[in-house]
A = this chain, B = another copy of it.
Amino acid sequence: MTAEQDGAPKQQTAKALTGLRDLVLKGEVLPGERLSEVALAARLKVSRTPLRAALQKLEQEGLVVMIPSGGYAVRSFSRQDVIDAIELRGVLEGTAARLAAERGVPPAKLKAISDVVANLDGVVEPGPGAMDFGRYEMLNERFHRQLAALCGSDVLSREIERITSLPFASPNAFVNTEADVPAFQRTLVVAQTQHRAIIAAIELREGARAEALAREHARLARQNLDFVMEEQPDLRSKVLALALMSG
């Protein structure tokens, strides 16, 4: 038996990818430190070959960087990097919204995303019991995914997917935190208002407004970032997405 014993032969690289991503995001490998291939391969129970494939993919995602002398290291992000990534998500989602408005959207797609917005209303509306943040997270991701695909451009949706793969640039990056901070819960109401407005602008073919709204929507993430960093630093450990940020 030269090949693998347990998993399917083609999924070793997937196993390495998810395992490695977990190690990075959970902070079990520190930024800047050189990632030993043999050690990681042993730890993840895969061979070096699929591990190297996973490292390359993670470099493409931006989580690790190549060391000039060879090998890889966990990338460390400055606060400015986080700000820029959020800004960039706003710009790209803004472009998706503008192009959708300018070029028009097939009714089926418009109905699908409108349904998501309607479902989000049910989550955000103050009702009996606590707000279901898990459900919000799921619907919010679905909204942003559908928005990225709304204008039908593969080139654009690929790019949005790329920048969104950075955990702190994800639309849900700060949602987990909000559960613990009552003041944050109200930002979800604002966010949902923006969701509605973006779709309305697209339906009305108001491209500039749709773009501006989507940009401002991403800006909420930056607001949350600033709040965590400057007013409640103790919250920072609760935001898993910020584990990669130094400083």
Contact = CB atoms under 8 A, between A and B. Distances in A.
B10 A81 contact: no
25 contacts: A10-B70, A49-B49, A52-B53, A53-B56, A56-B56, A60-B60, A62-B155, A80-B153, A81-B154, A81-B155, A84-B153, A84-B154, A84-B156, A85-B155, A87-B95, A87-B99, A88-B155, A88-B156, A88-B159, A91-B91, A91-B92, A91-B95, A159-B159, A159-B162, A159-B163
Nearest to A169: B155
Contact of A56 (B57, B81, B155): B57
A186 interface: no
Tell me how many chains of this kind the complex includes.
Answer: 2
Interface residues of A, number: 27
Given A81-B155, A159-B163, 10 more contacts: A10-B70, A60-B60, A84-B154, A84-B156, A85-B155, A88-B156, A91-B91, A91-B92, A159-B162, A162-B162
Nearest to A85: B155
Nearest to A157: B84
A26 interface: no
A62 B154 CA distance: 11
| 8 tightest Cβ-Cβ pairs between the two chains A and B | A84-B155, A60-B60, A84-B153, A91-B95, A56-B56, A85-B155, A81-B155, A84-B156
Interface string A56-81: 11001010000000100000000011
A111 interface: no
